[in-house]
A and B are shown apart, each in its own frame.
Chain A
Amino acid sequence: QKEVEQNSGPLSVPEGAIASLNCTYSDRGSQSFFWYRQYSGKSPELIMFIYSNGDKEDGRFTAQLNKASQYVSLLIRDSQPSDSATYLCAVLQAGTALIFGKGTTLSVSS
């Protein structure tokens, strides 16, 4: 079974700081990577996806992918209390279905 690993946290950062969330995956053949945000009691919502090595920026969010190290990360700049949630890393397996990590809980204090 292919695996996706994340630190469960909680990761605590002050308002305005950069939050760094990390994820590793076991299937070296994986090509597509996703970050979802999940508020308590809600369904996951897509934040970003990344396919190529390097950085991809979207507003305050930057996804970073390093396929050689099998590592994907999400940076959240200028963190806000509204960013407090669980962040799920997901990897597309065999082009068919997403395999999810257990998620990292982020807490942003004002």
Chain B
Amino acid sequence: NAGVTQTPKFRILKIGQSMTLQCTQDMNHNYMYWYRQDPGMGLKLIYYSVGAGITDKGEVPNGYNVSRSTTEDFPLRLELAAPSQTSVYFCATRGVQETQYFGPGTRLLVL
């Protein structure tokens, strides 16, 4: 039982490049989330999904896209990377009693 896994752990992108951050869960949770965390800041919600085929924007969705074709996977797509997207990205699921479980994070540096 791996919980929430994220790949890659670390990535350096050049400005204008694109990439997909992968998130997979094996807990059969319907709700999944993407957050970003900038240094010294709390987590800000980018996108979330309440189930396969259903996604919605969070607080900071600009520059990102998501899809949810299966319960297990919730990839986050960055198009045209910008230095402002340098951050740590956390994927999370929601289980019983509304508790969220976080993946280990992906550290992204855009230069």
A-side interface residues toward B, CB under 8 Å?
A: 1, 4, 8, 32, 34, 42-46, 49, 88, 90, 92, 95-103
Instruction: Indicate which residue in A88, A90, A92, A96 contacts B48 across the interface (CB closer than 8 Å).
Output: A96
Cβ contact within 8 Å between B102 and A49: no
Inter-chain contacts of A99 with B (CB < 8 A): 45
Q: Tell me, rounded to whole Å, the shortest Cβ–Cβ distance linking A72 to chain B.
A: 15
Other A-B contacts than A46-B99, A98-B100, 14 sampled, CB-CB below 8 A, are: A32-B98, A42-B105, A44-B90, A44-B102, A46-B100, A88-B42, A90-B100, A92-B98, A96-B48, A98-B33, A101-B42, A102-B40, A102-B42, A103-B41
B83 at the interface (CB under 8 A from A): no
Inter-chain contacts of A88 with B (CB < 8 A): 42-43
Closest to B99 in A: A46
Interface size on B, residues (CB 8 A): 23
B-side interface residues toward A, CB under 8 Å?
A: 31, 33, 35, 40-45, 48, 50, 58-59, 90, 97-105
Complex-state Cα separation, A98 to B43, whole angstroms: 9
Cβ contact within 8 Å between A49 and B97: yes
Instruction: Indicate which residue in A4, A43, A90 contacts B103 across the interface (CB closer than 8 Å).
Output: A43
Inter-chain contacts of B48 with A (CB < 8 A): 96-97
Inter-chain contacts of B31 with A (CB < 8 A): 96
Q: Tell me, rounded to whole Å, the shortest Cβ–Cβ distance linking B5 to chain A.
A: 11
List the 3 closest A-B pairs by CB distance, nearest first.
A100-B42, A43-B102, A102-B42
